[in-house]
Amino acid sequence: MDLQLTGKRALVTGGSRGIGLRIARALLAEGAHVAIAARDTERLAKAAAELSALGHPGRIVTVRIDTGDDESVRAATQSARDQLGGIDILINNAAVPGGGKGGPASPSQTTDQEFVDAVNVKVVGYLRTARAVVPGMIAQGWGRIVNISGLAARHSGNFVATARNIGVAALTKNLADELGRHGINVTVVHPGATVTERTPQLTADAAESWGVTPEEAERRLAANTAIGRAVTAEEVADVVTFLASPRSVAITGDAVTVGGGVVGAIHY
């Protein structure tokens, strides 16, 4: 299937590693031009060099962004627009890892600042980037916004992650209702446990917390998926790339889960 992405221009926040980097790579492979955005300029340069070496037809450029700051967002989106000639696709992926510093905490143990920081970077940050690119998308009569959230939106156990991901889903639906008449589709993707470069450390941390071997921790983490394993960042990127394409016109305002099938849960 031709996804009709050749020549489309995409901005991927949190694009220097993990799921964001894989999304950028998948878009480039389909012929899109991509601006990857993150706070760490050194990591951005390394990621851009890695992507350029793959020889895909699309252009790769970098912009520094702090989605927790509106001035930074406006400057970064303008830089991406200047370098690519416009922005057709926005992939919102930047977030405070794990939902907050120090890992999951119960609501009664969560500080105001932990909550505010996580929501500011992800929920409000996604709003800021959408607000910055929407006028251009409206002017051209077409656009795609894909918000990367997470399955914590459907589970308790990490209050900050749950709250911010529910907020992203609410933002997505409201944007979709507002922008659909302008040819702009907005969707939210909920990855589950996803294999990235951070997985070995996360597995080791889980093993230590549970008092088991890393192999047992990996088995436990995969036990809740219908496919019997965690999905990879590349598999998440495949779904996001379709949603970013003209082929996804029939999907907007909805959540797409990419977690390998949570065992026992029914969502309708």
Q: Which two tokens stand for residue 229?
A: 């394993």
β-bridge partners, 62:
36
User: Nearest to residue 76, comparing CAs of 12, 120, 134, 153?
Assistant: 12
Q: What is the pLDDT of residues 111-166, one digit of tens each?
A: 889 889 999 999 999 999 999 999 999 999 999 999 999 988 988 888 898 999 99
Pick the closest to residue 94 from 65, 72, 131 (CA basis).
65
The single-letter code of the amino acid at 203 is T
Cα 40 from Cα 164, distance rounded (Å): 23
pLDDT for res 105: 65
Q: What is the mean pLDDT of residues 166-195?
A: 95
Residue percentage of the chain with pLDDT more than 70 = 96
């399955």: which residue's tokens?
151
| Spatial CB neighbours of 156, under 8 Å, sequence gap ≥ 6 | 162
Q: How confident is the model at residue 3 (pLDDT cuts 50, 70, 90)?
A: very high
Going through the chain in order, the beta strands assigned E by DSSP cover: 9-13, 33-38, 60-64, 89-92, 143-148, 184-191, 194-195, 231-232, 255-258
Calpha distance 157→76 (Å, rounded): 34
Quote the mean pLDDT of the chain.
91
Average of pLDDT values for 62-73? 97
Under the banding of pLDDT at 50, 70 and 90, the label for residue 104 is low
What are 70-102's pLDDT values in tens digits? 999 999 999 999 999 999 999 999 998 754 444
180 pLDDT above the threshold of 80: yes
Check residue 122 and give its pLDDT: 96
Q: Is the pLDDT of residue 236 over 70?
A: yes
Q: Who has greater pLDDT, 268 or 7?
A: 7
For residue 228, the model assigns a pLDDT of 86
Q: Looking at the predicted structure, is the pLDDT value of residue 264 above 60?
A: yes
**Once rounded to an integer, what is the mean pLDDT over residues 177-189?**
98
Query: How large is the average pLDDT for residues 232-255?
Result: 97
Residue 73's SS3 state is helix
The end-to-end CA distance of the chain, in Å, is: 28
Taking only the tens place, the pLDDT of each residue in 5-40 is 999 999 999 999 999 999 999 999 999 999 999 999
More confident residue, 102 or 184: 184
Whether 103 shows a pLDDT value over 70: the answer reads no
pLDDT of residue 98: 59
Report the distance separating Cα 58 and Cα 49, nearest Å. Answer: 13
Instruction: Over range 262-267, report the average pLDDT.
Output: 81
